Amino acid sequence: MDTGLLTASGARFDQSICWDQVNQTPGLDRMEDGGLKLFDRCLVEHHATGQYVDYHPGAHFWPTQLIESGICLALAALAALAAFRLLRARHP
């Protein structure tokens, strides 16, 4: 559940470094004003050669759904328990 760029050595590279460099350059209003060239130059300087994507495989869908549903049900049960205790304490 992550995306980004890879360097020539295979290390992951945070492309926000290049975006920060573009955003901090005075006189650039749009990417067409030279920001794209500056961004590409930054990628070349850091030897970015590819992209990566990390994601959950399809087989994780239902187990993850069941875990999340269990957590929501447990929280709902705790909220209902707290509500009943509060009502019982205020209206004996």
Domain boundaries, the chain: 2-54, 58-90
Whole-angstrom distance, CA of residue 10 vs CA of residue 91? 66
Closest CA relative to residue 47, chosen from 4, 6, 3: 6
CA dihedral 85, 89, 90, 91 (to 10 degrees): 90
pLDDT at 23: 81
Task: Please state the pTM of the whole predicted model.
Answer: 0.52
Each residue of 51-65: pLDDT tens digit?
Answer: 889 888 889 999 999
Average pLDDT (27-34) is: 66
Burial (CB count within 10 angstroms: exposed 0-12, middle 13-18, buried 19+), residue 13: buried
Residues 49, 6: contact at Cβ < 8 Å?
yes
Each residue of 62-80: pLDDT tens digit?
Answer: 999 999 999 999 999 999 9
pLDDT at 31: 62
